[in-house]
Amino acid sequence: MATIDLTPGTLEARARRAYERGRWTHALKLGLLALPLLCLSGIVPCQTNLLWVTAPLLFAALVGFSVRGGEFSAALLPGLLAGLVPFTLPVATRLIGHLCESSLCMTICMPACCAGGLFAGASIGLLARAEERPLRFLLAATLLSVLTGAMGCSVAGITGIVGMLAATAITSVPMWLRSRA
């Protein structure tokens, strides 16, 4: 019959392993949030291959920030929710019948990406002021927002993603700086 080692060091090590396993399990489940976004953006015609780059990056960021904890974990929900606006606007534009087969794409999809980025950046900048370490929160939430939004803005190609990224940065940093004053 096998004996069970119940010394304090062994119990502590087992508890630590169980705790870490639970954190990683939670983080991996959270990372799966990238999958429905991938599926939703994948139903839109004329997708670019950028989608296959942004989805794994979003998964990695969700898992990494969840495991890291602190401001990074606090940025998960705000970053994802803010990123849903630049994700949704270009996808909705495409679903209502707009086709990106001409220069008209840059007059509809690109502004949709930029408008979503403006909203995402402003909301993240305002939320960052309430955090203990606002710069870390701002950077983490902005990264998540940009990766989420990029999955939708990929309908406009790299220019849509860059436009959304620029709009997010242009509004998030000044809103955060203004709130600190």
77-86 pLDDT per residue, tens: 999 999 999 9
Please, are residues 163 and 113 in contact by the beta-carbon 8 Å criterion?
Answer: yes
Tens of pLDDT along 87-138?
999 888 877 766 666 556 677 888 899 999 999 999 998 898 888 888 889 9
**Average pLDDT for 152-177:** 86
In the structure encoding, which two tokens stand for residue 29, read together?
């489940």
**Average pLDDT for 48-69:** 88
Task: Using the predicted structure, report yes or no on whether residue 155 has a pLDDT greater than 60.
Answer: yes
pLDDT for 2 equals 62
Q: What is the domain count for the chain?
A: 1
**Within a domain: 141:** yes
Please, are residues 121 and 168 in contact by the beta-carbon 8 Å criterion?
Answer: yes
pLDDT for 174 equals 83
**Within a domain: 3:** no
Q: Which residues contact 173 (CB under 8 A, 6 or more apart)?
A: 121, 125, 138
Measured CA to CA in angstroms, residue 102 lies from 2, 40, 41, 49, 154 at distances of 73, 23, 20, 19, 16
**Within a domain: 128:** yes
When pLDDT is cut at 50, 70 and 90, the band that residue 27 belongs to is confident
**Within a domain: 1:** no
Task: Using the predicted structure, report yes or no on whether residue 9 has a pLDDT greater than 80.
Answer: no
Closest of 33, 73, 61, 68 to residue 144, by C-alpha: 61
Q: What is the DSSP letter of 103?
A: T
pLDDT for 76 equals 93
Q: What is the DSSP letter of 154?
A: G
**Within a domain: 163:** yes
Whole-angstrom Cα distance, residue 110 to residue 126?
Answer: 25
When pLDDT is cut at 50, 70 and 90, the band that residue 57 belongs to is very high
pLDDT for 159 equals 85
When pLDDT is cut at 50, 70 and 90, the band that residue 30 belongs to is confident
- The whole domain housing 124 covers 8-180
